[in-house]
Amino acid sequence: MSQEKPLFAKRFRGYLPVIVDIETSGFDPVKNAVLEIAAVIPAMDENGRLSLHETHASHVNPFPGARLEESALAFNKIDPFHPFRIALDEVDALSKIFQPIRSAIKRNGCTRAILVGHNPAFDIGFLNAAVARSGIKKNPFHPFSTFDTATLSGLVYGQTVLAKAAQAAGLDWDNSEAHSAVYDAEQTARLFCAIVNRWADLAGGAIQA
């Protein structure tokens, strides 16, 4: 008798949604550095409802020759060379993030992860560039497909700015915490879960393939 697939494996065409936020030293994924990365892995209950399950994060050392834009550092308030930052080089930071994602993919019977982000083209661009620089052969994420919470929240709540969309979804928002990778990733994850759960409620339960 074959074992029933986990519900997650049926919900998003075999993909495991992982919510990612990346803080950088500019807008060019080739020339600018990844400075912080956070990834939130959700859990799904027997009714198909999502919740935050685990968060993994790392400060990242700028790669050699990276361009550090003063305007970007002023915006995200990151000092790349702060002595107490406890940052890892890109390859080690990515390995730290990817290992639990690979475990979650296997645990949930999925084929690979799909990046969920607020305007995720930015995050997937920097992630792919960092993977290429690091020589990592097995990226758990789909290389170009993503879920965009800006688009989803524009549809559901009429808001596309993360802070306003989160508040429209009934979430708290602390401007003093914003633009750190962990805070933004977890708030984006809460927003994504709220949208998926609202759709499940409207559809009368979990949607299965």
Question: What pLDDT digit, counting tens, does each position of 143-180 carry?
Answer: 999 999 999 999 999 999 999 999 999 999 998 888 89
Q: Which of 53, 82, 142, 179 is catalytic?
A: 179
53 is catalytic: no
Higher pLDDT, 25 or 205: 25
Confidence grade of residue 118 (pLDDT, cut at 50, 70, 90): very high
Q: Is the pLDDT of residue 202 over 50?
A: yes
Give mean pLDDT, residues 97-114. 97
| CA 68/CA 64 separation, integer angstroms | 11
Contacts made by residues 198-202, CB under 8 angstroms, sequence distance 24+: 198/156, 200/47, 200/48, 200/49
Q: Give the pLDDT of residue 1.
A: 44
| CA 104/CA 110 separation, integer angstroms | 8
Q: What is the pLDDT of residues 28-54, one digit of tens each?
A: 999 999 999 999 999 999 888 999 999
- The tokens for 96 are 């730290």
| CA 103/CA 59 separation, integer angstroms | 22
